[in-house]
Amino acid sequence: MTDWLEYLPTLLQGVGVTLWITCSGLLLGLLIALVLTWILEQEVPVLTQLAEGYLLLLTGTPLLVQIFLIYYGPAQFDWLKASWAWQYLREPGFCIVLALGLNAGAYTCRLFKGALDAVPKGETLACRALGMNAWQTLNVKLRHAGRRVIPAYSNEVILVLKGSSLASTITIMDIMGLAQRLNAQTYDTLVVFALAGVIYLALNGTLTLLFRLLERRALIFQTQG
């Protein structure tokens, strides 16, 4: 068995790619979640039904299926390959970020909506009495719901980080992609994937610690407020 220290530098080269995919997917997901949450809060008939359909579709199907549909699906349409969008849809990096963002947006929206529903209705009435518009009212409610959202959202961040490992299925050389390449070269399966798991564990542990600190700060801020 080859010394594991020989594999570590190679696997660490994928950390930057993994973090880029994760952060980009989370940012896109956050934007989508805010828009969907606003739509559900406003209860506009047609838009609400479309939003609910989106949530059902994205939360009810596996992430891997969504990645394959986004990456391999567009190539089936000649008109799409001839359009301006093809320059983006043919790039695996764009496709994995889009897939993660769409998926994270649906789950994050569920978190936000659940937290907002737990906010007393009196706060919404107070915002309206002060003449706040829909976005301002939503912002106030999100601040009050933040204490409930942070622990649940930290789990979503970790899930997106772990889900980013599926990027290797569409040729992206992240941590898992490099691990698969190393395994194909060395057949040292146990060591290679154990090291990859340790790296993911370290990243998830760091994120968990950061969110705990953020949760404490939010609690202090809420207490002071």
CATH of the domain at 193: 1.10.3720.10
Instruction: Using alpha carbons, select from 79, 74, 108 the residue that is nearest to residue 94.
Output: 74
* Residue 213 predicted with pLDDT over 90: no
What pLDDT sits at residue 55?
A: 96
* Residue 177 predicted with pLDDT over 90: yes
Q: What is the mean pLDDT of residues 84-96?
A: 94
Contact 7, 77 (CB under 8 A): no
Q: What is the mean pLDDT of residues 122-144?
A: 75
Average pLDDT, the chain: 88
Which residues, 6 or more positions from 144, have their beta carbon under 8 angstroms from its beta carbon?
Answer: 119, 123
- 43 pLDDT band, cuts 50/70/90, is confident
- Specify the number of domains making up the chain: 1
Q: What is the pTM of this model?
A: 0.88
Q: What is the mean pLDDT of residues 143-167?
A: 87
117: its two tokens? 């529903």
What pLDDT sits at residue 50?
A: 95
Q: What is the mean pLDDT of residues 209-222?
A: 75
Residue 118 domain boundaries: 4-224
- 132 pLDDT band, cuts 50/70/90, is confident
* Residue 208 predicted with pLDDT over 80: yes
